[in-house]
Structure 1
Amino acid sequence: MTSRKKNIKRGLWITVAVLMLISLALGWKIYQKVFSPNVRTQAPGPLYLYIPTGSDISDVMKILDEQRLLRNEESFLFTAKQLKYETNIKPGRYLLKDGMNNKELISLLRSGRQSPLNLVFNNIRTKEQLAERVAIQIEAKASSIMNLMNDRDYINDLGFTPENILCLFIPDTYEMYWNTSADQFLKKMLVEYKKFWNTNRMIKAEQTGYKPIEISILASIVQQESNQSDEKPIIAGVYINRLQKDWKLEADPTLVYALGDFSIKRVLSVHKEIESPYNTYKYRGLPPGPICLPTKASIESVLNYTKHTYMYFCAREDFSGYHNFASNYIQHLVNARKFQRALNKRGIKS
């Protein structure tokens, strides 16, 4: 009897020991699934994971699989289920580190702690160019951005029209999140626009007699006339003199914009016949909108334009990028003929 009790007791201890070993083994397996390194970036620099808006767990797995970021997908799915990631998927741009474990990765994705990016745009001529340039940097599609920029009611609420909406955008570098929508992008630009047009600049604009939008439109013309920062205020002064005398601006860059052919190097008489509100050879005043995105420097050149008596200017015949200025038409014709001869000598016909 005593021997039988000892055998039963021994059997119980063996059973307990086996169960403990099984528990330890299972625990170790779970620990490995959750805490073992499972991310391989295979990249020399930073690697970002982009989770689109509206993604579900299958979408996330497809992205991870396509980029071959996981050593073991099964362990990721196991951890995702334990941490309830399937119901807490947040879109965004996430910085991954090589060797991250599943808990670290899922906690990052679940938290929504995404990395912002620097959105940059400059050298823009049209709304289409702007929409495309922005769309390759954030989640919003170019078509969505274009639709809003052409939505008159929406744009009017921002204080603009579809024709002058480009005045809203000040070329610069802006920090924002990748999953920014078209609406959020434009609202962000409105905030930045108001920051740019501070009290000091508003006072200067008032002193010129023009509103910020008008200043930007004129700045866009000045920018297309010259790349030389030191003479932009002089060119701005010419155009303001013309506006004040109710002359037509007769700005060649507006014809190029109206024609939509930005490769034109020489404006001809035939170009001046185009029917367009941007044809400043036909219509007085400023065109309905900017012909490019003027830089901050170009806007400043208008706000701080040079006061003088010049009414005309023409590119110098040395192709230095500078211009000859004149107060009367006779001197302007002399300057213009010099430049025309230089164009002919180089064989530039269009």
Structure 2
Amino acid sequence: MYIKRILGIIVLLGIIGGGLFAAMVYRTFFNANTAFTEETVYVYVPTDASYAAVLEQLQPLLKDSDAFDAVARRKGYADRVRPGRYPLERGMNNNEIVNALRSRNTPLTVSFNNQERLEDLAGRIGAQIEADSASLLQAMTDPEFLKARGWTQDQALLPYLPNSYEFYWNTDAEAFRDRMLKEYDRYWTEERKQLARAQGLTPEQAIALAAVVHKETARPEERPRVAGVYLNRLKQGIPLQADPTVIFAIKKTTGRWDTVIKRVLYKDLELDSPYNTYMHKGVPPGPIFMPDLSAVNAVLRPERHNYLFFVADVENFGYHIFAETLAQHNRNKAQYIRWIDQQNIRR
């Protein structure tokens, strides 16, 4: 009888102990363990990050990092850290957090607009994904990559069409570049290539000309008309004589990219640069800017007219006055010169 009583107590204690252990395990795995108030926060795990580095990043987000650590080790996450951007939701338990870090690498939207140089683009992208600006710039200007497309360094800006794209945060530089090349090729359908050929342009020339059109007018509705002017000049063998190309040539020659030039002077037109379209006929050797697709589409589908000239309309800012003859243009230009002199704009 005494032995049975002892055995009963032992069994009872075992049940109680097992229950307590089970309760402890349950709490460790399944009790909410987030310490943030936002609905969702993101954890960014760099490539080759150690588990210790991930745990350090998680500590401010957790009520009990030791409990998380126990679950992470139990589930094998500590030995299989994966890079990426992972969402954690308020109220998650340790089991859910580990599962999220293992399998919920979530893409983000990468956006960029009209950059003037690859250096600017690389900086913009490097602020949004893991790849840094230096590695991005190296990938973008890689001679072998450009050679494979038959492009020069002047054309290295071509494949980056301003828009918003979905990427994983841990995308590396070459993967970003190659994805943008695919987007470029996807844009240049056979129909668009035919439209470019109809204007006497290659896709590369169409984008280079679109950059000039975009720089000339900020009004998308006016771009087909401006594009028509430049295409008329190209077909007649007349230099484009586009001030934005001269401004670009000055910046490229001096290396002073932050220079603000509001007025092109006659002496600037003497700068011997392939981008000086007063001195050299045809389309510039590469884009002076990253044009909107509206500008590219304007070049592909220009307004048909006989205009060869245009100048800013000082009575309707943002728009231009167009002319078919030099005499008409000179009269239109006079009003602009008077206005710019009155504003005391010397450069």
Q: Give the TM-score normalised by structure 1.
A: 0.93
Contiguous gaps of at least 5 residues in structure 2: 252-257
- The match for 2:162 among 149, 167, 171 is 171
Q: Which residue of 1 aligns with 2:198?
A: 207
Alpha-carbon separation, structure 2, partners of 1:228 and 1:91: 43
- Matched ranges for 1:299-314 at <5 A: 299-314=296-311
Alpha-carbon separation, structure 2, partners of 1:159 and 1:57: 44
Contact 2:88/2:100 (8 A) holds in 1:
no
Contact 1:41/1:96 (8 A) holds in 2:
no
Contiguous gaps of at least 5 residues in structure 1: 1-5
- The match for 2:214 among 203, 220, 223 is 223
Q: Which residue of 2 aligns with 1:240?
A: 231
Alignment of 1:80 with 2:77, yes or no, is no
Q: Does 218-227 or 298-307 show the bigger shift? A: 298-307
Alignment of 1:46 with 2:29, yes or no, is no
AA partner of residue 163 (structure 1):
D
Alpha-carbon separation, structure 2, partners of 1:93 and 1:202: 38
Alpha-carbon separation, structure 2, partners of 1:319 and 1:273: 31
How far the C-alpha of 1:159 sits from its partner, in A, is: 5.0
Q: Which residue of 1 aligns with 2:7?
A: 12
How many residues in Structure 1 have an aligned counterpart in Structure 2? 341
- The secondary structure found in structure 2 opposite 1:166 is coil
Alpha-carbon separation, structure 1, partners of 2:151 and 2:77: 42
- The secondary structure found in structure 2 opposite 1:334 is helix
- Matched ranges for 1:283-302 at <5 A: 283-302=280-299
- Matched ranges for 1:28-177 at <5 A: 28-43=23-38, 45-65=39-59, 68-111=60-103, 113-158=104-149, 160-177=151-168
Q: Give the TM-score normalised by structure 2.
A: 0.93
CA pair 51-206 structure 1, distance change in 2 beyond 3 A: same
* Deviation readout 1:230-279 (Å, 9 max, x if unpaired): 32112112211222222222210011112225521111122223343212
Q: Which residue of 2 aligns with 1:27?
A: 22
Alpha-carbon separation, structure 1, partners of 2:49 and 2:149: 31
Identity of aligned residues (%): 37
Contact 2:214/2:291 (8 A) holds in 1:
yes
CA pair 94-158 structure 1, distance change in 2 beyond 3 A: farther
Contact 2:40/2:90 (8 A) holds in 1:
no
Alpha-carbon separation, structure 1, partners of 2:12 and 2:150: 77
Alpha-carbon separation, structure 2, partners of 1:37 and 1:159: 57
How far the C-alpha of 1:319 sits from its partner, in A, is: 5.0
- The secondary structure found in structure 1 opposite 2:153 is coil
Contact 1:311/1:328 (8 A) holds in 2:
yes
AA partner of residue 243 (structure 2):
D
Q: Which residue of 2 aligns with 1:3?
A: none
How far the C-alpha of 1:115 sits from its partner, in A, is: 1.8
AA partner of residue 45 (structure 2):
I
Alpha-carbon separation, structure 2, partners of 1:27 and 1:317: 80
Contact 1:221/1:253 (8 A) holds in 2:
yes
Contact 1:217/1:289 (8 A) holds in 2:
yes
Contact 1:148/1:155 (8 A) holds in 2:
no
How far the C-alpha of 1:298 sits from its partner, in A, is: 0.4
Alpha-carbon separation, structure 2, partners of 1:283 and 1:290: 15
How far the C-alpha of 1:218 sits from its partner, in A, is: 0.1
Contact 2:246/2:275 (8 A) holds in 1:
yes
